[in-house]
């Protein structure tokens, strides 16, 4: 069955209505919806509206709490710790960026340690928000406790770590910012969920089943018995994943992967830099432009192919989907419709 195209504005309004009906203040419901739909627009369905039913399940279970934006619990000027109090990550994340930007404006740089946040969604979106303010930014994120453990270490077949992502954003002078946004697993769990809903196969080398056998079947990951995601670049990815767990989990006080703890949500270490305090903002933006052009000038491996730089594919996808609509598969639409009906929200108009 082919995907159905849904206008982004209509989808955002519908998802916002669902979260408002679930008890979130209208402004916060809109923030959640906007961030989720933005992920779909960028081509990252794994962190988009497919998560609506899951978020609602988490809210009912108390794993995420409406209308908590995070509160400052330690303040050293350029360094600040925020406790998210398990508020929705799309709301708490706005607090992190706002605090980081304000402090970077005053001090030239800022580090924000977030602990106990809800699921923060697509991390590249926060790098884009920082770049809108002219800031360079770095984000390291983990999922603490046993709830986020999904990734096997290099050479292993049992889950030990979360697919801890990182994002780096750099503004440039000739277009959208350069944004590197990656997980330290070959695919995040959300992409396995997307493949399951679409009845599609996973890429080679992404998942092993419970016996350690490579599989392209999403069901091999979920089980039972459960399989595991694999790290990018073998031991390099596994090592990076482990270090991000420490930066985002231990340094923020939110905790690392630990099977003894029923962790929930995300922790994040975020760094914000005002480039004009170093080499100069315009100099950086021009260098980013020139480096991107230099990268793209390389001869492709295959005739007709194009070299892409970080964030370029997302920017193109966003422009196309804003114009044509957001493609959603039938199963995802069915799940969102069921969630809306259960809350008394009118169905999404076809």
Q: Encode pLDDT of 42-81 as tens digits.
A: 999 999 999 999 999 999 999 999 999 999 999 999 999 9
CA distance 182 to 190: 13
CATH (domain of 242):
3.30.1370.60
152 and 243 in a single domain? The answer is yes
Please check whether residues 255 and 167 belong to one and the same domain. yes
34 within some domain: yes
Looking at the structure, do residues 261 and 117 belong to the same domain, yes or no? yes
Domain count, the chain: 3
pLDDT value for 254: 96
Residue 1 clears pLDDT 70, i.e. is over it: no
- Residue 315: pLDDT over 90: yes
Range of the domain at 199: 195-230
- pLDDT at res. 328: 97
Considering the domain architecture, whether residues 73 and 222 belong to the same structural domain is answered as no
Q: Binning pLDDT at 50, 70 and 90, where does residue 264 land? A: confident
50 within some domain:
yes
Tokens standing for residue 322: 């804003």
Q: Does position 41 have pLDDT exceeding 80, yes or no?
A: yes
Shared-domain flag, residues 106 and 162:
yes
**Contact, 32 vs 88, CB < 8 A?**
yes
Would the pLDDT of 235 be above 90?
yes
Number of H helices, E strands in the chain: 11, 12
139 shares its domain with 280: yes
* CA dist 290 → 96, 102, 285, 307, 316 (Å): 30, 29, 9, 14, 19
**pLDDT score for 279:** 82
| Residue 350, pLDDT score | 61
Give 159's strand partners.
none
174 and 263 assigned to the same domain = yes
DSSP string, 141-173: EE--TGGG--BPPTT--S--B----EEEEEEET
pTM for this predicted structure: 0.96
């Amino acid at each position: 069955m082919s995907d159905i195209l849904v206008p982004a504005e209509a989808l955002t309004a519908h998802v916002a209505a669902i979260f408002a009906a679930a008890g979130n203040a209208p402004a916060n419901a809109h923030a959640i919806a906007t961030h989720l739909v933005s992920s779909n627009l960028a081509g990252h369905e794994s962190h988009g509206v497919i998560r609506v039913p899951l978020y609602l399940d988490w809210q009912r279970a108390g794993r995420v709490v409406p209308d908590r934006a995070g509160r400052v619990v330690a303040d050293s000027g350029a360094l600040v710790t925020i406790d998210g109090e398990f508020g929705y990550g799309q709301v708490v994340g706005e607090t992190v960026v706002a605090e980081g930007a304000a402090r970077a404006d005053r001090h030239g740089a800022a580090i924000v340690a977030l602990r106990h946040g809800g699921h923060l969604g697509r991390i590249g979106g926060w790098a884009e928000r920082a770049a809108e303010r002219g800031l360079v930014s770095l984000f390291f994120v983990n999922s603490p406790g046993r709830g986020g453990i999904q990734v096997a270490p290099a050479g292993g077949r049992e889950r030990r770590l979360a697919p801890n992502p990182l994002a780096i954003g750099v503004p440039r002078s000739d277009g959208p910012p350069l944004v590197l946004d990656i997980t330290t697993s070959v695919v995040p769990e959300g992409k396995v969920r997307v493949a399951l809903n679409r009845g599609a196969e996973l890429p080679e080398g992404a998942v092993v089943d419970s016996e350690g056998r490579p599989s392209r079947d999403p069901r091999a990951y979920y089980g039972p018995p459960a399989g595991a995601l694999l790290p990018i670049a073998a031991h390099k990815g596994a090592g990076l994943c482990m270090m991000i767990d420490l930066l985002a989990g231990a340094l923020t006080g939110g905790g690392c992967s630990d099977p003894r703890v029923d962790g929930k949500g995300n922790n994040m270490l975020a760094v914000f830099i005002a480039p004009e305090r170093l080499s100069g903002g315009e100099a950086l933006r021009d260098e980013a432009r020139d480096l991107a052009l230099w990268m793209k000038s390389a001869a492709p491996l295959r005739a007709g192919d194009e070299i892409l730089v970080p964030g370029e594919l997302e920017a193109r996808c966003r422009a196309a989907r804003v114009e044509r609509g957001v493609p959603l598969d039938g199963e995802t639409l069915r799940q969102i419709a069921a969630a809306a009906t259960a809350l008394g929200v009118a169905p999404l108009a076809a």
